[in-house]
Structure 1
């Protein structure tokens, strides 16, 4: 009887592992397509931005928040010697702020306590060297922040540039190529002279979406001409662009 019990437990564990592996593969594939969409735009990589936010709904103290932030900064690959910590913890303000920079990457992590049942960890990453590590960085953020809540929000944006002013019909060509690659349907479109912005729903990224006026959106593309730089800039984000552009 015990033998059957152990076999049953083993089968359940195998199934759980298979489900977890399937979810990881599914996520990797969706982000691989996201990176492929950027590459198909033929823009020169400029930077990527990743922002994360997680609520903590229990009474947490300053040492716990600081420990969470330091561990996350370390897991994101920042050396302790490069990390600056600012601690403001008094009756008026309860906040831990960490910042770290190296040659190509800037990371800031803020832990804020608003009440005994409402605290937040917010992460802001900017990298201007490589973008193909986005899948790994996303996994680190998700795995670390999911320890404290299942309501983790992560926003990813890749920015690129073209070394000249593009004609408006070229904007549409780039947009259509990305939408095709991402199997996406346009939900809203704003087009002006030298500017194009669309929100869309991609079947590839369907696990990561927001709801807006009754529609699901998980893909945001912005293209604009910068007169100051004399370049055309492109932003591809999921689920939306969280930058001023």
Structure 2
């Protein structure tokens, strides 16, 4: 029962990233959105903490056997040109790479492959660690029960050293997924920081500057003592979702970290998919 709950939570988290609401994809290529987000980040004046591009392909009413998953994984590793010592973990418990600290324990380029096969549930997770400051996660996940049968193929690339090649990495992820389906959704997120604590007035000024660059209008704002989160709509961004009957394609957030004495800023389209 515990494992089923974890699986369902995983599916729900994917649904939050790939909303089950109306999607408005214009004809413009994905990389135009990436360039606009890069421009917005540069306008913020923040120092780079990390940049990530997340792409997911949902396959409805399909169940992928573990042998087919292994073929898909090998192909994606090749397409993304991932290199390093390969370490296999077989028949592991449910594993979420986004909430694991084991990636800190390896030196050099390393590829961790976790394989989990159970009745009605298959998952292979690849975590590729590169010394250049990049972590690539590939997840092929499939679930089959009397209530639901679906699969996901996910590519998530995070870099903490430079971001000029993120557009090319994004295009590479899309190209790798296209042979398996065309229902590809994704997000791009940039995380930056400023030394020390920003005042409320300073934070509002930064948000305003970014909004002006993208000519974005505020849809919703949530603020408390710990953080500030704003969802917006920009006519310059194409990856748009409908939220409470309104179009949304940009989210900005700020939070002060007292331990590091830094103010962090998140800039994402269409929404922030990681924890902040």
Larger relative contact order (Cα-Cα within 8 Å, sequence gap ≥ 6): 2
Q: What is the CA distance between 1:80 and its match in structure 2?
A: 5.2
Match of 1:234 in 2: 265
- CA apart distance, 1:156: 1.4
Match of 2:137 in 1: 108
- In the TM superposition, 1:1-245 aligns within 5 A as 23-24=28-29, 27-57=30-60, 58-79=62-83, 81=85, 82-91=110-119, 93-103=121-131, 104-115=133-144, 118-193=150-225, 195-205=227-237, 207-245=238-276
Q: Does the CA-based 8 Å contact 1:74-1:80 persist in structure 2?
A: no
Structure 2 residues without counterparts, runs of 5 or longer:
1-26, 86-109
Q: CA deviation at 1:153?
A: 1.7
**Aligned in 2, Cα 1:193/1:95: closer, same or farther, shift over 3 Å?**
closer
TM-score by length of 2: 0.74
How far, CA to CA, are the matches of 2:81 and 2:31 in structure 1?
20
Q: How many Å separate the matches in 1 of 2:268 and 2:72? A: 27
Q: Distance in 2 between matches of 1:86 and 1:182?
A: 41
User: CA 1:119–1:28 in 2, change beyond 3 Å: closer, same or farther?
Assistant: closer
**Structure 1, residues 38-59: CA drift from partner, whole Å, max 9, x if none?**
0110000011123222112445
Q: Which has the larger radius of gyration?
A: 1
Q: 1:19-48: CA deviations, max 9, x gaps?
A: xxx844xx4333222101101100000111
